[in-house]
Each structure stands twice: as structure tokens, then as C-alpha cells.
Amino acid sequence: MTSGKLRLLGMYIAACLAVSCSAPKSCAQETPANLPGCNCPLNDWPLISRFRDENSRVLQHGIASRRVVFLGDSITEHWIVYHAQFFSSHGYVDRGVYGQTTPQMLLRFRPDVIALKPQIVVILAGTNDLAGNTGPESLDVIEGNLMSMVELGNANHIRVVLSSILPVTDMYKPITSKRRPADIVALNRWMESYCGSGACTYLDFYSSMIDAHGSLRSELTGDGLHPNAAGYLVMEPLAENSIRRALGFNSHSGAN
């Protein structure tokens, strides 16, 4: 084999190794098609196909059945497991996917939100970005992804509720080493400021779920990251209030 061919073969092998090794170490759903040691199917990285059939079924029903779409990660995905009636009785659609980050949700935004033509989307995202689930991201990058989703919603006449990142606690296992409380606070402050411009409605879960030390209250979680049933009961009236505000109704009187 000539030296030129050897160089080409070496370049091909290096490229293949780069594709295999650069795959995210954590993703939304395990599948037999995954590469060894990787929890992310490269043929559908954002899992656009996850809700394809469900979205088709939802579209067969009236608009009241999809009035609000909740877009998020496992915190949103688990919500309907703990309290399915919260979604079914209000015309809420759960589009949470375990482990997802804002770039993945941004790619899912059209099929899982825009295509359903809801009045409102409630976005709860960012904690897995801080943990580096799909690679390292600066706060600026996370903010940019959130802004892009808000802009897509507004451009399609969908009112956007942007939710704070929930606090975490190390009570059960180390969590704050990746999800630094200071970064959570910084992102939440940015979201509140950004929504203050009129682009979206800010939903503050954080303030109602922290303890005196700024950690997630122990009675609201079973693992230090995800809410338990009691945690979701705290979140639900806050979400409903923000949805009403996004629609232009005062939470007490029902008027502007």
C-alpha cells in the first residue's frame, strides 16, 4: 500500500473514531441501537420521533385537548406520572423527555409544540445543560437556546411561559458539583429579566421550593433533583397562575 493510501486510511479511521467518541454520554432514552457506552441514539439525537404517534392522535381531538404544552426534561416527564389528572382535566399535553437539554428541546420545538398549535407552551429546561448531559455549555449558550424557543413560540402566536430551574440538594447524593447553585440562581435571574421585557411570562418555581440554605426542600424530593408527589403539588398552582397571567387574566379576579 502506498504512503498516500496509508494516510487516507489513517484519516478515515480517525474520523470514525471521532464520531464514535464525541457522542454525548447521556441522553433521553436508552435503545439497543446505541453505541457501546453511549446513552444517545445518534440517528435521532433530539428524539423527534418520541411523540410522533402521540402527536398525531392529539391532533385528531379538539383544540381544548391541547391548550397548553409542557416542554421539558424528566421533571416534566415524571409530572404526568405523579398526577395525570392535572394534565387531562386542563387540556395540558406533557412533552417531557428524560435527560434532555435545551438544544435537544429546541430541535423538538416544532414537532412537539408548534405543530400542536397550543395557546401556551410552558418550558422547564436548563438543569441538564448545567450537568453537561450533552456536552459543556456556557450560560450564554443555554440562554440563547431558551431565547430561540421563546422567539419561535412568539412567531407562531404561542404564548410562552418560561420556568425557573428548580433548586437541588446533596441530601441523597452529590448533585451540586455539576448543577452549581450559583449557576441556577444566575440563569433564573436572567430568565426573570428576559421575561420582564414582555417576551414571555416568568414562572418562579425556585422561590417556593428552597429551604433556608437555598437547597431543594427535603420533603419535596426523593433524590435531590426531581420533585416527588408533594413537590408537584407545590408546582401545580404556580403553573396554573402563570398560565392565567400569560393569557392576560389576573390570578385573583380573572380580569386583566
Can you read off the three cell numbers belonging to residue 89? Answer: 382535566
Strand 68-72: give its sheet, edge to edge. Answer: 92-96, 68-72, 120-124, 159-163, 201-203
Q: Please give the pLDDT value at position 222.
A: 96
pLDDT of residue 69: 97
The CA distance from 42 to 34, in Å, is: 7
Query: What pLDDT score does 2 carry?
Result: 52
User: Cell numbers of 226, please?
Assistant: 426531581
Q: CA of 190: how far to CAs of 107, 126, 143, 164, 216, in Å?
A: 22, 12, 8, 10, 20
Would the pLDDT of 34 be above 50? Answer: no
Does the pLDDT value for residue 229 go beyond 50?
yes
Angle of helix 52-59 relative to helix 102-112, nearest 10 degrees, comes to 40
Higher pLDDT, 48 or 15: 48
Mean pLDDT of the 32-53 span: 67
pLDDT attached to residue 250 = 53
| Chain mean pLDDT for the chain | 85
Question: Which fold would CATH assign to domain 49-247?
Answer: Rossmann fold (3.40.50)
Domain boundaries defined on the chain: 1-45, 49-247
Q: What is the pLDDT of residue 133?
A: 95
For 66-112, write each residue's pLDDT tens digit.
899 999 999 999 999 999 999 999 999 999 999 999 999 999 999 99
Give the Cα separation of 33 and 180 in Å (integer).
Answer: 33
| pLDDT(254) > 80 | no
pLDDT category at 241 given cuts 50, 70, 90 is: very high
Instruction: Please check the confidence at residue 253 and state whether its pLDDT lies above 60.
Output: no
